[in-house]
Each structure stands twice: as structure tokens, then as C-alpha cells.
Amino acid sequence: MAAIVDSSYDAIVGKNLDSIITDWNHAAERMFGYTAEEAVGQSILMLIPEHMQGEETEIISRIRKGERIPSFETVRRRKDGSLVTVSLTISPIKNSAGEIVGASKIARDITPAKESERRIRLLMREVNHRVKNQFAVILSMVRETSKRSTDPAEFEQMIRSRIMALSRSHDLLVTSEWAGASLFDLIQEHLKPFGHEERISLSGPLLTLQSNAVQNLGMAFHELGTNSSKYGALAGEGGRVEITWKVESGPEAQRRFHLLWHETSGVTADGAARKTSERTGFGDRKGFGTVVLQRVAPQALSGSSSLERAPGSVKWELDAPLEAIVVPQLGADTENDFSV
């Protein structure tokens, strides 16, 4: 029995009915920081925060009655003053005559479990917030798309593709437990459905985006990619898409995020290029894609944008405060740019 107690991973402590510690195993030393020599002979109250010491009075009262106290969660204090959340199980100790002479306490550190519960609650709140936000975005998509489509089949296809784009951003966030997503991964994920990877180049510093930036930049890349695959660089032969981003110091040493989408089509004839440009949804200043690029994304990221359309060319630039883009405390590794 002594070997079992001594090798237990749970703290096992014995005390008498005066709350004086009589036994103290190695796990108790690890958990609370006191050696057996320091603890045995001391009051158990040294482990209980002042505002919770009424617990001990109730415990001793129940032990005197011979009650076994079911496991309950509480907080105890270590030698260094820090607090530890524990699950306690307390049972009476009897002598050879059957008289109750003390109590045994088994304490299990449940700090990791409580932290896990806290993170789950935090994630659930984040998911709840994001789901409500996604619903609002989808309703806006339906409303704005329906204004510009008279063909039910076209309407369904456009709504489906935009909701799938939201889903791709959502998947990246779920994979990281809502910690953010790489800008490189986000662009690749949203442009993958359009193919022609060999005609798309990415260049910029490694950035981990906040969830809000993931959603809004994801919408922007989807609209740009859709437009390009229908009318621009990815619609015909010879076109190219270049996406570059950088971090700069703005006024008052504020760090700014700057992104440029620049696509050039392979059309060389002015007339053909002009015809293609006129067909693009970006030619309509009230089109959903234009609204996303010129208003929704920049406003959501506290920044500004410009959209330039020319025969055979589309440029979209976004400028925003870096803190609205990247995960706090991670920032940008501006010393390590990559190009693909």
C-alpha cells in the first residue's frame, strides 16, 4: 500500500481531525512544491486560499460523521503562491478500533482540462460569431446577386460558387482552430478552382492573417479569380496574374499592408481587348464583385482600395493597417520574402 501511494501520479495527503498534515507523497511534493519534511506537521490550511478556508471546516465536519466526500473541483495554493485547480476526493481514516482519526485526500491537477474547457468555450463563441457573420454575408450575396441576374440557373451557379468560396476560407480557419491562415495558402486555395497555376505568380513576406482578413480577402480573391477566368488573364492563352504584397512603414511609423493584383491578358488587338473589358463584371460599378473589391473588403480591413480596368489589364490595390491584417504578436516576417 505504501508503494502504491508513493508512486501515484495523484497527490495523496493524510491529515488528522485538527487539519494537521500527517502523510505526504511524492506527487504532493510535485504538485504543491513542499517537501514531506516541510508539510508534515503543518496545517492543511497552508494549501487553501484565505477566502476558501471555510471549505476545511465543512470537510472536517462531514469526516467526523463518517461521510465519504465525493470528488469536487476546487483551488489550492502552491508553495510559490500560485494557484492550481484540482479535483479532490476525501475519505475518513479509521484506527484499528474503527474510530475516525483523520482523513485522506486525493488531489488531481485538472488545470490542463480546465484550460481545454476554456479554449473550447472560446472557440465556440468564435464559431458562433463567425457563423452569424457568414449568414449575414450569404444574405448579402443572395440579395446583391439576385439584382443582377434574371436567369435562375446563372443565379444558382453564382451563389453556389460564392458560398463555396466562403467555405474554403472557413476550412482554413477550422484547420488552424481559428488561429488564422497563411496569406499564401489563402490565395492558392481560392485560385485553385480556376486552374492555370503556371500563369499565376505570388510574391511577398510570410504573413498569418486574422480570421476577419481571411474571410474578406478570400471573397476578394474569389471575385478576382472568377472575373479573370471568364474575361481576363485566365480566360485565354498567354495571360498572367501577378499577386504581390509587402509591409511598409506609413505616417507616424505605422506599419501598412499593401497588396497588388495585376493581371494582363494575352489579347493584343485593341478592339478584342476592349470587347473583353466591356464584358467583365468589373465594368459595372454596382456589380457584386466591384462592391466587394471597392467597398466591402477595404472597409472591413480599415483600409482603402483602387480598381483599375484597361483593355487587357486589371489592377486591384489594397492598402490597410498591418494590425487589421495579421494575427496579433505574429506580424510579418519581412526579412523572408518568397516568390512562387
- 83-107 pLDDT, tens digit each: 999 999 998 999 988 899 999 899 9
Domain count within the chain: 2
In a domain, 147, yes or no: no
Nearest 10 degrees: Cα torsion 214, 201, 257, 210: 20
Same domain? 90 vs 184: no
Per-residue pLDDT for 136 more than 90?
A: no
The answer to the question of residue 115 being in a domain is no
* Residues 181 and 319 both lie in one domain: yes
Which pLDDT score is estimated for 138?
80
Determine the pLDDT at residue 269: 42
Beta pairing class for 240-249 and 200-209:
parallel
* Residue position matching grid coordinates 485547480: 85
d(CA 78, CA 69): 23
The predicted pLDDT at position 278 comes to 45
- The CATH number covering residue 68 comes to 3.30.450.20
pLDDT in tens, 32-87: 999 999 999 999 999 999 999 999 999 999 999 888 788 899 999 999 999 999 99
Band (288; pLDDT cuts 50, 70, 90): confident
C-alpha cell at 244: 504581390
Q: Which of 19, 13, 254, 286 is nearest to 148 (CA)?
A: 286
Which region among 3-7, 152-156, 177-181, 191-195 has the lowest average model confidence (pLDDT)? Answer: 3-7
- Is 58 found in the same domain as 177? no
Question: Are 223 and 325 in a shared domain?
Answer: yes
Is the pTM above the cut of 0.95?
A: no
Does residue 157 form part of some domain? Answer: no
For residue 241, the domain's CATH number is 3.30.565.10
pLDDT, tens digit, for every residue of 240-279? 999 999 998 867 768 999 999 999 986 544 444 444 444 4
CB of 314 within 8 A of CB of 282? yes
Written as one letter, the residue type at 86 is V
* pLDDT for the residue numbered 171: 87
Provide the grid cell at 223. Answer: 471575385
* Alpha-helical regions (H) of 176-281: 183-191, 211-231, 270-279
Whether residues 212 and 100 share a domain: the answer is: no
Mean pLDDT of 274-294: 63
In a shared domain, residues 204 and 97: no
Same domain as 184, residue 94: no
Mean pLDDT of 282-310: 84
Does residue 248 form part of some domain? yes
**Does 244 map to a domain?**
yes
One DSSP character per residue, 98-114 reads S-EEEEEEEEEE-HHHH
Mean pLDDT of 123-130: 76
| pLDDT for the residue numbered 74 | 93
Domain of residue 86: give its range: 2-109
Structure confidence by residue, pLDDT tens digits, 216-237: 999 999 999 999 988 888 887 8
- How do strand 11-16 and strand 21-24 relate by DSSP bridges? antiparallel
Planar angle of CA 99, 70, 85, nearest 5 degrees:
115
Which residues lie closer than 8 Å to 230 by C-beta, 6 or more apart? 279, 280, 281
Same domain, 315 and 175: yes
**Pair 325, 188 in one domain:** yes
